[in-house]
Amino acid sequence: MKERAELSRRRFLARTLGATSALALSGCDALSQTEWFPKVLGTGEQLTEAVQHLIASRRAMAQEFTEADLSPTFRSNGTAMPASPEYAALAAGGFDAYRLEVGGLVKRPVSLSLSELRALPSRTQITRHDCVEGWSAIGKWKGARLAALLEAAQPKTQARFVVFHCADPMESDGTSPYYESIDMEDAFHPQTILAYELNDRTLPIPNGAPLRLRVERQLGYKHAKYVMRIELVESFKRIRGGKGGYWEDQGYEWWAGI
Ligand X SMILES: Nc1nc2c(c(=O)[nH]1)N[C@H]1C(S)=C(S)[C@@H](COP(=O)(O)O)O[C@H]1N2
Report whether 214 contacts 223 (CB < 8 A).
Answer: yes
- Name the residue number minimizing CB distance to ligand X: 78
Q: Which of residues 95-134 bind Mo ion (CB under 5 A)?
A: 131
Task: Look at residue 178 and give the partner it binds from Mo ion, ligand X, none, a contact being a CB closer than 5 to 8 Å depending on partner kind.
Answer: ligand X
The CA distance from 222 to 220, in Å, is 5
d(C-alpha 148, C-alpha 81), whole Å:
28
Distance between CA atoms of residues 180 and 218, nearest Å: 12
CA 230 – CA 54 distance, rounded (Å):
27
DSSP code string of 68-86? GG--SS----S-SS---HH
Binding of Mo ion at residue 247 (CB under 5 A)? no
Of the pair 71, 111, the CB lying nearest ligand X is at 71
Please answer whether residues 241 and 249 qualify as being in contact, where contact means their C-beta atoms are separated by less than 8 angstroms: yes
Tell me the Cα Rg of the chain: 18
Binding to ligand X by residue 76, rule CB under 6 A? yes
Which CB, 25 or 256, lies closer to ligand X?
256
Q: Considering the rule CB under 6 A, would residue 125 count as an interface residue with ligand X?
A: no
Amino acid, res. 107 = K
16: CB partners within 8 A, 6+ apart: 112, 116, 119, 120, 152
The verdict on 192 binding ligand X (CB under 6 A) reads no
- Is 84 one of the binding residues for ligand X (CB under 6 A)? no
Stretch that binds Mo ion, among 11-19, 54-62, 136-144, 216-224 (CB under 5 A): 216-224
- For residues 221 and 180, the answer to whether their CB atoms sit within 8 Å is yes
List the one residue from 116, 151, 168, 248 that touches ligand X (CB under 6 A). Answer: 168
The least distance separating Mo ion from the CB of residue 131, rounded to whole angstroms, comes to: 3
User: Smallest distance, Å, CB 99 to ligand X?
Assistant: 17
The CA distance from 85 to 81, in Å, is: 11
Candidate residues 142, 165, 223, 229; the one interacting with ligand X per rule CB under 6 A: 223
Q: Which residue type does 178 have?
A: Y
The region that residue 124 occupies, defined by phi over 0 for left and psi between -120 and 50 for alpha, beta otherwise, is beta
Among the listed ranges 18-26, 59-67, 185-193, 224-232, the one in contact with ligand X (CB under 6 A) is 224-232
220 binds ligand X (CB under 6 A): yes
* Cβ count near 42 (within 10 Å): 9
Of residues 152 and 225, the one with the C-beta less far from ligand X: 225
Binding mask 127-166 for ligand X (x = CB under 6 A): ----x----------------------------------x
Contacted entry of Mo ion, ligand X, none for residue 224, CB cut-off 5 to 8 Å set by kind: ligand X
Enumerate binding residues for ligand X (CB under 6 A).
75-79, 131, 166, 168, 178, 206-208, 220-221, 223-226
Enumerate binding residues for Mo ion (CB under 5 A).
131, 220-221
